[in-house]
Amino acid sequence: MTEQVHLPEWAANYLQYIRVPFKEASLAYLTEICTAHHNRIPFENISTLLRYHEYHQQGRLEQDEKRFVDQLMQLNAGGTCYMINSSLHQLLNQLGFPTRYTLLGEGHVGLLVRNPDGQEEVYVDCGNAAPFFEPVRLETYPDQVSQYAGIEVRLRPGDEPGTYTYYRYVDGQLLTDLVWSFDTRKTYQFDDFQPAIREYFKPNDLFTSILRCQLWQLEQERSLSLINNILSIRHEDGRVDKRVLSDLSELREVIDHEFKLPKLPVEDAVTVLQSLGVDIF
């Protein structure tokens, strides 16, 4: 436990928030972190909308794990791949997992983590509304499938060594807009993603024209997904319940009582969308 004393405060708070103790680096520990992360930290664009005007004033997004952890504690916020996976990148390095970025398609950021139990690199992705509850062993388990409640992701080898393609299925149907290729032979720094981030923050783009919040709740055997005013609850057995929310008070109730994220400032995000000409109701 003496090593934990040397963790930066933000890293210790990060672990505390996801309710994972400090341990020696191992594949089992990495799996524990991934599972806890998905269960505690939402994939959402509410925090994106809150920094929309700030981004357009600064013209860039800084990699900032301390701010990310502050937002966890103060706002119950998570983010999308740029905010979540870049902060997880920093945490894993602090915990003794050599970690680097990879770029899927033209804009999704994932992580490649050196497995302490062997020589391979594994794929880790907590900034994605997909069930990556454990690292994907690209090299030694090429048929591995990440799946839960009707959502399934397969990472399959490409034509050249080190290349892969991401395929996402929902209820057995391939989502063709979520087929992404990536090359693990390439090395990236966070600033390499600034052109993609610029597209991400454009008005009327995917995450600036809707309200999005997703969270796994494995203890309740379900997944929650909010898109604008429609709440979808996917159950482990494949059932899907949908509920249409009629106003802001119902939206607040769902965030508080279903997602259990009482600090998440969803009203402020709705106000930003309204200023951009979007009415989610």
In the predicted structure, residue 214 carries a pLDDT above the cut 70: yes
Q: What HEC string does the chain produce?
A: CHHHHHCCHHHHHHHHHHCCCCCCCCHHHHHHHHHHHHHHCCEECHHHHHCHHHHHHHCCCCCCHHHHHHHHHHHCCCECHHHHHHHHHHHHHHCCCCEEEEEECCCEEEEEEECCCCCCEEEECCCCCCCCCCCECCCCCCCCEEEECCEEEEEEECCCCCEEEEEEEECCEECHHHCEEEECCCCCCHHHHHHHHHHHCCCCCCCCCCCEEEEEEHHHCEEEEEECCEEEEEECCCCEEEEECCCHHHHHHHHHHCCCCCCCCHHHHHHHHHHCCCCCC
In this predicted structure, what is the pLDDT of residue 1? 39
Query: Which of 198, 219, 239 is the last residue in one of the domains?
Result: 198
User: pLDDT, tens digit, for every residue of 250-266?
Assistant: 999 999 999 999 999 99
Do 260 and 130 share a structural domain? no
Do 99 and 47 share a structural domain? yes
58-68 mean pLDDT: 96
Of residues 1 and 210, more confidence is placed in 210
- The CATH number assigned to the domain holding 231 equals 3.30.2140.10
Do 82 and 27 share a structural domain? yes
Q: Print the domain residue range for 47.
A: 2-198
**203 located within any domain:** no
The total of structural domains in the chain comes to 2
Query: Which of 140, 167, 198 is the last residue in one of the domains?
Result: 198
User: pLDDT, tens digit, for every residue of 17-45?
Assistant: 999 999 999 999 999 999 999 999 999 99
Do 213 and 171 share a structural domain? no
Query: Which of 165, 198, 231 is the last residue in one of the domains?
Result: 198
Do 175 and 236 share a structural domain? no
Do 121 and 186 share a structural domain? yes
In this predicted structure, what is the pLDDT of residue 117? 86
Residue 225: pLDDT band by 50, 70, 90 thresholds?
A: very high
User: pLDDT, tens digit, for every residue of 183-208?
Assistant: 999 999 999 999 999 999 999 888 99
User: pLDDT, tens digit, for every residue of 84-94?
Assistant: 999 999 999 99
Residue 3: pLDDT band by 50, 70, 90 thresholds?
A: very low
